[in-house]
Amino acid sequence: MRVIYQPGLLLLAILVTTITGCELRKPSQPDIALKPAFDPAGFQNGAIYKLQPGSSELKIYVYRGGILSHLGHNHIISTTDIQGNIYRHPQLEKSGIIMQLPVNSFEVDKPEHRQTAGEQFASTPTAKDIAGTRKNMLGAKLLDAMHYPQISIRSVSISGTKNKPDLLLRVTVKETPSDIMIPAQIEFKDDQIYIKGKTTLSQTSLGIIPFNILMGAIAVQDNLDIQFYLVASLSNESLSTQPRDFAKPNNIAFKNNAPTTIPPITYLK
């Protein structure tokens, strides 16, 4: 029997990337309450910075797996429509981040992203495949954009140092929260905040069952790579400004063979 591999199968890989493609598992300990996330209502004596959509960008890299992986593609999901605020306090642990990602802004396999992402993304999905993948990704069985138009991200804690903080973030997709730790690097310049970082996460750590069919012959790898670059400007809502003595960041390496470069921090003109 000949196995026909349809591009639509790969949409589940993308779905995983956007934190929902596969069916979410119930927490193993549902009765344990999550730590409270950052609440801007209690924020005082700090500065508020508004994220700049268009200047900011999120990329998520999803990888094919299984013995028939050569029949599919790796994928890059991206968005520049990152909305929200950064709340900076002189005491790092009292700072916070709130972001929203409108799922309709998600783009699949932008040519310029694939062209600069290395050999793992050298293949070229057809326009029809990309359109079909995106349609299914946003459909009722996956992200369900009609009923859940955005993914919300809110900090739970911020630790580390002021120029290299560790961000514990609560990512909520379709009303299902998952807490993840992401290292970041921060720089300040002329009332702007620049934040960049990379991390490797497993789908299972997000409560997601990795996609596979044919007893794993066609599958999505558990690990996916996330890369972000955020730009925020001092807001008129800000209660006060704080010193801008953040050191310039060093590189953060991926655990997998994902692209190792992200946009350098450059100041807005």
Q: What is the DSSP string of the chain?
A: -PPPPPGGGGHHHHHHHTT-SSPBPPPSSTTSPPPPPP-GGG--SSEEEEE-TTT-EEEEEE-EESTTGGGS--EEEEE---EEEEEE-SSGGG-EEEEEEEGGG-EE--HHHHHTS-GGG-S---HHHHHHHHHHHTSTTTT-TTT--EEEEEEEEEEE-SSSEEEEEEEEETTEEEEEEEE-EEEEETTEEEEEEEEEEETGGGTB---EEGGGTEEE-SEEEEEEEEEEEE-TT-S------PPPP-----SSSS----PPP----
247 part of a folded domain: no
Angle at the Cα of 56 from the Cα atoms of 52 and 57, rounded to 5 degrees: 150
Residue 176 in this model has a pLDDT that exceeds 90: no
User: Averaged over 214-221, what is the pLDDT?
Assistant: 66
Distances (CA, A) of 241 to 47, 138, 191, 249: 5, 40, 9, 22
- Enter the tokens of residue 218: 């066609």
User: Averaged over 107-124, what is the pLDDT?
Assistant: 91
Residue 233 in this model has a pLDDT that exceeds 70: yes
240 part of a folded domain: no
Spatial separation of the C-alpha atoms in residues 127 and 125, rounded to whole Å: 7
205 part of a folded domain: yes
User: Averaged over 46-69, what is the pLDDT?
Assistant: 87
Spatial separation of the C-alpha atoms in residues 90 and 162, rounded to whole Å: 9
Render pLDDT for 181-213 as a digit per residue (tens, 0 to 9). 999 999 988 899 999 998 887 766 665 556 566
Residue 263: pLDDT band with limits 50, 70, 90: very low
In this prediction, residue 173 carries a pLDDT of: 81
114 part of a folded domain: yes
From its phi and psi, is residue 70 left (phi > 0), alpha (psi between -120 and 50) or beta? Answer: alpha
The amino acid occupying position 134 is R
244 part of a folded domain: no
100 part of a folded domain: yes
In this prediction, residue 106 carries a pLDDT of: 94
Among 143-147, 237-241, 247-251, 259-263, the range scoring the smallest mean pLDDT is 247-251
Spatial separation of the C-alpha atoms in residues 113 and 80, rounded to whole Å: 13
Per the structure, the complete domain to which residue 55 belongs is given by: 7-24+34-234
In this prediction, residue 202 carries a pLDDT of: 74
CATH of the domain at 167: 2.40.128.110
0.85 exceeded by pTM: no
In this prediction, residue 141 carries a pLDDT of: 64
Spatial separation of the C-alpha atoms in residues 94 and 82, rounded to whole Å: 22
In this prediction, residue 1 carries a pLDDT of: 39
Spatial separation of the C-alpha atoms in residues 92 and 196, rounded to whole Å: 17
42 part of a folded domain: yes
Render pLDDT for 67-95 as a digit per residue (tens, 0 to 9). 756 666 788 989 999 999 999 999 999 99
123 part of a folded domain: yes
Could you give the number of structural domains in the chain?
1
